[in-house]
Chains A and B, each alone.
Chain A
Amino acid sequence: MSASEIIRTEHVVKTFIVDKKVQPVLKDVSLSIEKGEIFGIIGYSGAGKSTLVRCFNGIEKPTEGDIFFEGQNIVGLKSYELRAIRRKIGMIFQQFNLMPSRTVFGNIALPLKHSGLSKQQIDKRITELLELVDLPDKRNAYPSQLSGGQKQRVAIARALVNQPKILLCDEATSALDPKTTKSILHLLKKLNKELGLTIVVITHEMSVVKEICQKVSVLDKGKIIERGDVYSVFSNPQQELTQSFIETTSALGSVKTLIETQSPVVQLQPGQLLLKISYTTSSVSEPLISYISRTFHVDANIVFGDIQILSGNPLGGLVVILSGQESAIDRALEYVKQRYVAVEVLNHG
C-alpha cells in the first residue's frame, strides 16, 4: 500500500438478499484511489455504484473483501470507530438531503455536534465555508427557499465542515440542470485544487467524468470492466459499454445515424471514401488534412468534426470524405493510419 493512497478496496463482494434470493451487487471490486485526485465511477443505474461508494464510509458492509481508508482496514471496525472515520469522509447526495427544519447555518453546523468547538469557532468555520461555496448571504435561509444548485452548495459546505480528507459525491449533479451542473462541477474542481481534497464522483453521465475526473472506472453489473486515466479510457475504449458512454458526449456517434438515414451530407460519388478519423494520442496537432491534400493530391472534405480538450489533450475526431485517384486515396489512407490515428472507413462510394 502506497502512502499516497487514500482508499483501497480489495476483492469487495456485496450481496443483498431480496425476497429470499441472493442478489450479487458487487462482484470482486478492487480499486485504489490516490490522494488529491478526482476519481470517477461511472455506470448505469443498478450497476452497484451507490453500494460501492457506501462501502467506502462503512454505511454498507461488504459481504467479502477489505476496504482500507488511509491504510486502515475499516471492515469489522466497531461502530464508534467507524463514526470517527466517517467524520473524515464527506458525502453529498443526489437529493441533497438537507434537513428541512434547519436553516443553512443549522445544517452546516449539524456534523459539529459534540465536536467540542465553541460557538465562536463554529460561527467562524461556517462563515468561511459559506464564502467558499459562494453563498455568504444565505446563512439564515431554510432549504425550501433555495434552488437546487444552492442546496447542493450547502450540502457541500456541510460535508466539508469537519475538514474531511475526501468527498464522496453520489450522483451529486444528477438532479440539476446542465448549467447548474457546470457550476457545481466547477466548485468541486476548485475544492480539489485549493484544498487538495480527494473527490470520488459517482455518476451515470459521461459528461461529468469528462468535465472533472482524472481517473475513471467503469462499473457494470457489479464489476469494474474498464479503468484508467480519463484520457486513455476516452480515446481508446475497449468495452462496448464504455464506448456507448463516450458516444453520449461526442457528436461523432451521430455519423452512423446519418449513413443509416442516407442523409445527403454523407452521400458519396463513385470513388469517394467516407472516413472517421479519431485522435487517440496527444501528438496529433499537426495540420493533417491540409498535409494529405497537398502531398497526395486528394480532396478532403470535412463533413463534421468534434474535438474536445480533455486533460489538456485533444480528443475526438473528424468525419471526412476523401475524393481523388484511387491510388492517391490509398496512399493517403496509409499515411493517416501511420500517424497514430485510428481510421475507420465508414463507407465506399
Chain B
Amino acid sequence: MDNVLQLLLPNVSQVMDEFYLSIIQTLQMVFVSGLISFILSLVIGILLVSTRKGDILANSFVFNVFDKLINLFRSIPFIILIAALIPITRLISGTAVGVQGTLFPLIVGITPFFSRQIESALSEVDDGLIESGIAMGLSPFQIILSVYLKEGISSIVRVTTITVISLIGLTAIVGVVGGGGIGDFAIRYGYQQNQLDATYVSIIVLLIFVSIVQILGTFISKRTTH
C-alpha cells in the first residue's frame, strides 16, 4: 500500500500529515463559514423578500439598503476583498492567517451571493400562498416561518447546494494568502514547487467534496418536495 502510494504520489506521500491536515482545514472552513453565512443569508434573504414592494413587510428603505449593499460586495473580486478586509479580520479573529483568519473574509465573501440565492429561492413561493396566509390571519412572522420558509425548503436546499460548492471554491482562494486548506496545499506544493501530483490530488479531493455536496443536496431537495 505504502509502495503504491509512493509510486503514484511521489511528492505528496512525503507530506501525508500536512495533506490530511489541509483536508480537515478545508472542511472546517466550509462548515463554520457556511453555517454562519447560512444563518446570516437566511435573515437577509427573508428581509429582502418580505420588504420588497407589495410584500408582507414592504419597506423600500430597508430593501434598498440591503439590495445595494449586496451589489456593492458582490462587485468586489474575492481576492481583493480578502486584502481589503485584513484590518477588520485582525480585529475580529486576532489573526489574518490560518483557518481562523479565513473565516471572516469567507463569510463576507459568500454571504452576499448566498443572500441573493435565498432571496430568489423564497421568491419562488407562490404569491397565492402568501395571500392565503394573510387571509387566514397569520402574522408576518408566522407567514415567514410557516409559508415562506416551510414552502421554500426545497428551493433553499437547492440554492444552498450551489452556494456551498462556490464556497469550496473560495476556500481554495484563501489558500493564496496563507489560509491553509486544500487550496493552500495545492499552491505551496503543486504550484510553487511544481509537484504535479499535489495539484492532481487536490483536484480529486475537491471533486469528491463537490460531488458529495451535490448528491446530498439533490437527495434532500427531493425528499422535501411533495
Contacts and interface: CB of A to CB of B under 8 A. Distances in A.
Nearest to B226: A142
A337 B154 CA distance: 69
Interface string A79-107: 01001111101010101010111100000
Contact of B226 (A83, A110, A113, A144): A144
A83 B135 contact: no
B224 A114 contact: no
A97 B126 contact: yes
A277 to B, nearest CB: 46
B6 interface: no
Contacts of A142: 226
Interface string B50-68: 0000000000000000000
B134 A114 contact: no
A83 B137 contact: yes
Nearest to A88: B137
Interface string B117-135: 0000000001011011111
B226 A87 contact: no
A77 to B, nearest CB: 12
B162 interface: no
A71 interface: no
A162 interface: yes
A37 B150 CA distance: 37
B151 interface: yes
Interface in B113-159: 126, 128-129, 131-139, 142, 146-147, 150-151, 153-154
A83 B128 contact: no
A84 B138 CA distance: 9
Interface in A142-200: 142-144, 158, 162, 168
A57 interface: yes
Contacts of B226: 100-101, 142-144
A110 B224 contact: no
Nearest to B145: A113
A83 B139 contact: yes
Contacts of A89: 135
A102 B154 CA distance: 13
Given A95-B128, A100-B226, A86 B134 contact: yes
A110 B130 CA distance: 13
B134 A97 contact: no
Given A97-B126, A100-B226, A87 B147 contact: no
B151 A113 contact: no
B31 to A, nearest CB: 27
Contacts of B131: 59, 93, 97
Contacts of A57: 135
Contact of A86 (B128, B137, B150): B137
A111 interface: yes
Contacts of A80: 139
A288 B114 CA distance: 78
A168 B131 CA distance: 13
Contact of A87 (B129, B133, B136, B151): B136
B223 to A, nearest CB: 11
B146 A84 contact: no
A260 to B, nearest CB: 43
A53 B88 CA distance: 54
Interface string A6-34: 00000000000000000000000000000
Given A91-B132, A99-B150, A144-B226, A83 B138 contact: yes
A274 to B, nearest CB: 50
B77 to A, nearest CB: 38
B135 A162 contact: no
Contacts of A168: 135
Contacts of B224: 101
A111 B150 contact: no
A99 B135 CA distance: 14
Which of B128, B129, B135, B147 gathers most chain A CB within 10 Å? B135
B150 A97 contact: no
A59 B129 CA distance: 13
B132 to A, nearest CB: 4
A316 B112 CA distance: 66
Contacts of B153: 101
A102 B135 contact: no
Contact of B138 (A59, A100, A111): A111
Contacts of A97: 126, 128-129, 131-132
Interface in A35-74: 57, 59
B136 A110 contact: yes
Contacts of A87: 136-137
A110 B128 contact: no
The 4 nearest A-B residue pairs measured at CB: A86-B137, A97-B132, A87-B137, A111-B136
16 contacts: A80-B139, A87-B136, A93-B128, A97-B131, A99-B147, A100-B226, A101-B153, A101-B224, A101-B226, A102-B150, A110-B133, A110-B138, A111-B137, A114-B142, A158-B136, A162-B137
